Structure formats: C-alpha cells, structure tokens
A and B are shown apart, each in its own frame.
Chain A
Amino acid sequence: MSISTLGREGSSTSGDPMVEGRVLVKSFGRTPALNGASVAVASGEILAVMGPSGSGKSTLLHCLAGIFTPDAGEVLFDGRRIDSLGENRRSELRRTDFGFVFQFGQLVPELTIEDNIALPMLLGGTARRDAYAAARSWLPRLGLDDLGGRRTGEVSGGEAQRVALARALVHQPKVLFADEPTGSLDSLTGEHVMELLVTLVREEYTTVVLVTHEARVAAYADRMVLVRDGKVTVAEPPAVRADPSVGVAAQPVGVARPHPPSAAR
C-alpha cells in the first residue's frame, strides 16, 4: 500500500475490518430485531448506520459493541471473535477498547465535568493523577476550558454532550460507538457536536459506528448503510448521470455559485 492510499479513503476498502458483524440474528422474546445483518467497518472509518425507528439499527450497534450477545452469527473486533467471550471479558473490552456516546443520561450528575471525563480511566485502573491529567487535557479540545469544575447539571445540553464525547474518547479507544449522539440537541448544537466528533476521531484515528435516523448527521460519515427489517443494505452511491430532463449539466462536488470565493476569509 502506498502512502497516498493510507488515508481514510483507502482505509475503507483495504485491510481487515476493525469491527465486523456476520449474519447476526437477535430477537427480544418473539420480536425479531436483527435477521441476518452483516456489516464491516474498516479501521479508521466512520460508518453511519441509518434506518427508521424499530429497524434494528441500535440492536446492531449493541451487538457489535458486545453489549448484547447475538442469538446467531459472529461479532469480530480486530479479527477476533467477541460474541463467544464471557461477560467479564466483554466488559473489559468495552472499558478499554471501546468508547460510547448515547443520546441521554450518560454523565453522573453528582460529579464535576472533570470527574466525569476521568471516570472511565479510573474504572480501568489508571492512576488518579494520570486520569485527571488526561481529563484536563481534553477540556480545551472541546472548548470547555473553564468548565472542568462545574457539575454536569450546570452546563448546557450541547456542553454536556461534548463532555460525553470527551469521556468516550479519553482512554483512546479503538472504536467509538455513537447511538443518536445529537438526538437530544437542537440542530445547530447537534451540528457543532458532530463537527467536533469528526475532528477528534480523525485526529485519534478512531473507528466509529454512528447510529442515527437523521440524514444530516449520517452525512458526516465516510460511508452509510441502511438497516431495514433487521438486515443491512449497503447504500452504495449509484452512478448518477445527468438526467436528460434536467436542464443544467451535472454539478460538480463544489457548490455552483455566481462569484469566485471572497478574498476576505
């Protein structure tokens, strides 16, 4: 592989997947959630998993992250089966190699922001001093410089979600699992959180599984798949030709506009 293909573009098509689900089946009682779902996420790739409510997309994330055990099928992390591991081993894996961001309720309200960010490292056995040093180093990257001592109840929803992001990434996990990470935020704040998420995971070269029902959020990913009726359909972009019925030529990727970019930036 040449250096030029080592970037994100190349990563999505080459090498072994970082996370993979093979023909996953999972039911809750009589309700089937996954019905033969297969998906592979390359190292360093941001994959969006889309689908309507009840399609099974969150169940898929929970299976890939080793939170749920599938009824059938295999889950692999970095080439190794994890679905057959015991709960203790999977729990350890979730603490060390995975990070999680959810829609709600992930921060401990009694603790300060710094405490919350340091928590996964403390639980993972990192020395208190090191854990807090790491937590503090994340504050400026998230634009939370002066808020480290506040309790989570004292900050806005967007700030709380940025704290959650820091907490998910502070131990430098290999994979970030994000389930509707902007679901509780207004659209502008949500965009800000997604900007930050993408910037940070690209810096850290973290693989991301991003579950969302919002196309605008999914659009931050490198690639998207759709979950429908418990199966994964790959939303491969088809070859789009200029429709003969459209009066203008096919637009390039850039936005067409009447004036050249302003010199004042």
Chain B
Amino acid sequence: MSVPLTLLGLLEREPSHGYDLKRDYDTFFGWGRALPFGQVYATLSRLARDGKVSAGRAEPGAGPDRKRYSITERGAADVDEWLRTPIEPEPHLQTQLFTKVILSLMLGRSARTYLDTQRAAHLERMRQLTELRRTAGSLDGLLADHGLFHLEADLRWIDLTEARLDAIAAAIDNDEEVQP
C-alpha cells in the first residue's frame, strides 16, 4: 500500500492541510489503523523536496500543521501513472486494488479502464501459473495452485466491483457530504 501516492491522490482532489489529509486517509484507506501524524508530515516534506507537492506559506499559529499543501504537475503525473498501471498480480492485493478503484472514482478517472487492465494482468498471470503447474513438479504446482486461487478471488472481486461502480461512486459522494 503506497502511502505517498495515496496522499498525493487525495491532494489532487483538493489542497489540504496535513490534518485534513490524515483524516481523509483514515476515513477511506485506514482499515482501522490511523496513519500517524508524524508519518503524514514526513511524507509531505519528502514529497515537497521531490517537487511533487508545494507547501503554502506558513499560516499563523502553533504546531506543524500550518501549511496548506497542493499537488504539483509532477505529483499529478505520478498519480496518473500509478492509477493506470495494473498491480503486479500476487496474493493479498485487496487494499491496493481497493485504493486504486476508490481514488480513480474520487478523481473522476475511469475506474473501469483500470479494472480492465488489472483483469488482463491477473488473467495473464493465471495463464503463466497454470502453464507452470502443468510442467513443473508437484511442489511448484502446489504453490502455483495457491497463487491461482488467490488471483481467482481477486478476479471475482474485480468483476463484482465493476458491476457496482455506479453505486460505489455514489457511496463516496455521500461520505464526502457527511464530513464537515
């Protein structure tokens, strides 16, 4: 799960202070584990150093959260590429698949195109593993089977998610309204 790219994606939606960014991250991608403030600020300063975000002028007050961050063109290009690129198919991808779908919908990109690309990557990986299982010894075959079952589960999730994209987009909109 890429925290820097996810934060960049959230910043593309709207410029934010670190606190708001953390809150949005925890709401959508936290999985019950809050992102520590320290990590948010460390990540933001690294992104600023690399020219992916720009920090606004420090606002009056105490504490570290006195700057409003905006995404730069370079940062937006990173997000764009990340969201279009399928994830290397391997077991236990659920949070990454989820993040890419949700961020794509949030940013008005085609989640369907991403899911199609990811499906093709998964199918190709399954084809490779099946070929391996047909030709390899039984131990490799056993491991290939494990990979195949997990990829198959991902594929089912991909199909189901694609069928429900409109409803998911609506749910994201509703969540946004609930927030202050």
Residue pair A216, B126 in contact (C-beta under 8 Å): yes
Tell me if A185 counts as interface (CB < 8 A to partner B).
no
Residue pair A254, B119 in contact (C-beta under 8 Å): no
Known A215-B152, A257-B140; contact A198-B134, beta-carbon cutoff 8 A: yes
Known A219-B148, A243-B96, A246-B87; contact A255-B140, beta-carbon cutoff 8 A: yes
A255–B132 Cα distance when bound, in Å, is 8
Question: Which of A80-88, A94-102, A132-140, A230-238 is near enough to bind chain B?
Answer: A230-238
Tell me if A253 counts as interface (CB < 8 A to partner B).
yes
Residue pair B1, A245 in contact (C-beta under 8 Å): yes
Tell me if B85 counts as interface (CB < 8 A to partner A).
yes
- Give the distance to chain A from B103, nearest Cβ to Cβ, in Å: 12
Interfacial residues of chain B within 131-153, with CB under 8 A of chain A in the complex: 132, 134, 137, 139-140, 143-144, 147-148, 151-152
Q: Which residue of B lies closest to A261 (CB)?
A: B137
Tell me if B124 counts as interface (CB < 8 A to partner A).
yes
Sort chain B's interface into a size bin: 35 or more
Q: Which residue of B lies closest to A224 (CB)?
A: B123
Q: What are the residues of chain B within 8 A of A236 when measuring CB–CB?
A: 120
Residue pair B124, A241 in contact (C-beta under 8 Å): no
A215–B151 Cα distance when bound, in Å, is 9
Q: From A52, A235, A245, A261, name the one whose CB has the most chain B CB atoms within 10 angstroms.
A: A245
Interface of A is mostly: loop
- Give the distance to chain A from B59, nearest Cβ to Cβ, in Å: 31
Q: What are the residues of chain B within 8 A of A205 when measuring CB–CB?
A: none
A219–B120 Cα distance when bound, in Å, is 11
Interfacial residues of chain A within 238-265, with CB under 8 A of chain B in the complex: 238, 240-246, 250-251, 253-255, 257, 261-262, 265
Residue pair B121, A219 in contact (C-beta under 8 Å): no
Known A235-B119, A235-B123; contact A220-B130, beta-carbon cutoff 8 A: yes
Tell me if B159 counts as interface (CB < 8 A to partner A).
yes
Interfacial residues of chain B within 1-36, with CB under 8 A of chain A in the complex: 1-2, 5
Tell me if A40 counts as interface (CB < 8 A to partner B).
no
Residue pair A221, B140 in contact (C-beta under 8 Å): no
Tell me if A63 counts as interface (CB < 8 A to partner B).
no
Q: What are the residues of chain B within 8 A of A233 when measuring CB–CB?
A: 116
Tell me if B71 counts as interface (CB < 8 A to partner A).
no
Interface membership of chain B positions 25-59, coded 1 if the CB is closer than 8 angstroms to chain A and 0 otherwise? 00000000000000000000000000000000000
Binding site for A on B (CB under 8 A): 1-2, 5, 82, 85-90, 96, 116-117, 119-124, 126-130, 132, 134, 137, 139-140, 143-144, 147-148, 151-152, 155, 159
Q: List 25 A-B contacts (CB under 8 A).
A: A198-B134, A215-B123, A215-B151, A216-B130, A216-B152, A219-B126, A226-B119, A233-B116, A237-B123, A238-B86, A238-B120, A238-B121, A240-B86, A241-B85, A243-B82, A243-B85, A243-B87, A244-B5, A245-B2, A245-B87, A246-B87, A246-B88, A254-B140, A255-B143, A255-B147
Given contacts A221-B127, A244-B2, list 7 more A-B pairs with CB under 8 A.
Answer: A52-B159, A215-B126, A222-B127, A240-B87, A243-B88, A246-B88, A262-B137
